[in-house]
Amino acid sequence: MDSMDWALLRELQDDARLSYSELSRRVHLSPPAVAERVRRLETAGVITGYHAHVDLTKAGRHVVALIRMSCYGPRCVLRDPEVLNWPEVLEVHRVTGDACSILKVVTASMEDFESTIDRLAPYGQPSSTMVLSTPLRWRPLSPLSPTVDQGSRSSE
Amino acid sequence: MDSMDWALLRELQDDARLSYSELSRRVHLSPPAVAERVRRLETAGVITGYHAHVDLTKAGRHVVALIRMSCYGPRCVLRDPEVLNWPEVLEVHRVTGDACSILKVVTASMEDFESTIDRLAPYGQPSSTMVLSTPLRWRPLSPLSPTVDQGSRSSE
DNA sequence: GCTGAAACGAGGTAAGC
DNA sequence: GCTTACCTCGTTTCAGC
């Protein structure tokens, strides 16, 4: 994970559809070297996937919520593979504190959201926080030690 | 947004690096038709971007937290473009309830996390929930009305 | 939206440093 | 480990239907 790997990660986090050739131009490395490095990042599990991001509202999801689940008894959303497969559940995090997990849920309507809450209730006490807007939807990961971009040399 | 658009979204959410030709094979549409539809989805803002996802731990981020900010006074993280640019702040959501916003923060160490909390404190009361693990990191958006995949016709 | 053709670009390989 | 050169293949784009 040197500065060249981070340069590649920066570009691929910004635009996952860049070709190896275009990447090679941006990071000033030859295409074969770029291809090898990217494959290494993939097989090492540093890159977990390439995903198109879809606008929730334009996809008809007008309700976004974070639900804190306080599970009790034998059932828990963390242990139930069924809940993890519900299409309206986009993320599940196990957390510290009073709650055992936090779910990111998106639905088309409040009616659908109410249905989700009803289906979650048997697992424990759901506490919903509605998302009004999202000023920052996503940020790419940057290198820990401020690595200087080596892509702006005069050798173009 | 017909079923063909959703088929393309399904594939691109799963693998954003697929070529138009490969997409055309998977959804059983000609490459030019695929290219036109994808560009329409991009310009319409349905697709907001294509992003490589990076493993947080492998990128050296061993601390993941959700921070509820109860802002007071004139300053608020929602209004401050500086906080939105902090590299350790990956998401910011404005929410209902006691808190005004929830931040997803990742740092290399607890020491760095403590520093983030200190820098957030002037904006309001930060309440941190640590993420222990993430059973479901991300789920692709699926069509609202169960759309039957039209890609399995016998005309291959 | 499909087909066909043509041009362009991309990706992979191998040799050399 | 990176680079350059080459070659093959795929992809993209445009035409017309």
**Residue among B73, B10, B85, B83 at smallest CA distance from B41:** B10
Inform me whether the pLDDT recorded for A25 exceeds 80: yes
The DSSP secondary structure of A69-84, one letter per residue, reads EEE-SS--TTT-TTGG
pLDDT at A77 over 90: yes
Q: Above 70 in pLDDT, residue A88?
A: yes
Give pLDDT, residue B35. 96
Report the range of poorest mean pLDDT among A34-38, A83-87, B55-59, B146-150: B146-150
Q: How much is the pLDDT for A145?
A: 73
A73 φ, ψ (degrees, to nearest 5): 70, -165
Q: What is the pLDDT of residue A150?
A: 39
Could you tell me the pLDDT band of residue B153, with boundaries at 50, 70 and 90? very low
As a whole number of angstroms, the distance between CA B58 and CA A1 comes to: 10
Question: Does the pLDDT value for residue A90 go beyond 50?
Answer: yes
| Strand C close to A22 by CB, under 7 A | yes
Distance from CA of A155 to the nearest CA of B (A): 28
- Chain B residue with minimum CA distance to A14: B51
Q: Are A102 and B66 in contact (CB under 8 A)?
A: yes
Q: Which of A70-79, A96-105, B116-125 has the lowest mean pLDDT?
A: A70-79
Q: How confident is the model at residue B74 (pLDDT cuts 50, 70, 90)?
A: confident
For residue range B89-147, list pLDDT tens digits in order.
999 999 999 999 999 999 999 999 999 999 999 999 999 999 999 999 999 999 997 65
Q: Is the pLDDT of residue B152 over 80?
A: no
Residue B30 beta carbon within 7 A of nucleic strand C: yes
Nearest-by-Cβ selection for A55 from B45, B51, B52: B45
Buried b (16+ CB within 10 A) or exposed e, A76-112: bbbeeeebeebebbbbbbbbeeebbbbbbbbbeeeeb
What distance in Å separates the CA atoms of residue A121 and residue A114, rounded to the nearest whole number?
11
* Residues 24-53 on chain A lying near strand C, CB distance under 7 A: 31-32, 35
B52, pLDDT greater than 50: yes
pLDDT of residue B149: 46
Rounded to whole angstroms, the distance from the CA of residue B89 to the C1' of nucleotide D14 is 46
In which element (H, E) is residue A145 found? none
What local confidence, expressed as pLDDT, does residue B156 receive?
29
Chain A residues within an 8 Å CB radius of B53: 13, 47-51
Give per-residue pLDDT as tens, A26-68. 999 999 999 999 999 999 999 999 999 999 999 999 999 999 9
pLDDT at B116: 98
Mean pLDDT of chain A: 92
Task: Tell me the CA distances in angstroms from A133 to B88, B91, B92, one per residue in order.
Answer: 20, 11, 9
Among B107, B78, B100, B102, CA closest to B91:
B102
Portion of chain B with pLDDT greater than 70, in percent: 93
DSSP letter string, A3-60: HHHHHHHHHHHH-TT--HHHHHHHHT--HHHHHHHHHHHHHTTSEEEEEEEE-TTTTT
List the single range of A149-153, B40-44, B81-85, B122-126 with lowest mean pLDDT. A149-153
Query: pLDDT at residue B154 above 60?
Result: no
DSSP-assigned letters across all residues of B35-99: HHHHHHHHHTTSEEEEEEEE-TTTTT--EEEEEEEEE-SS--TTT-TTGGG-TTEEEEEEESSS-
Distance between CA atoms of B64 and A75, rounded to whole angstroms? 25
3-state helix, strand, coil in chain B (%, to 5): 30, 30, 40
Q: What percent of chain B has pLDDT over 90?
A: 88
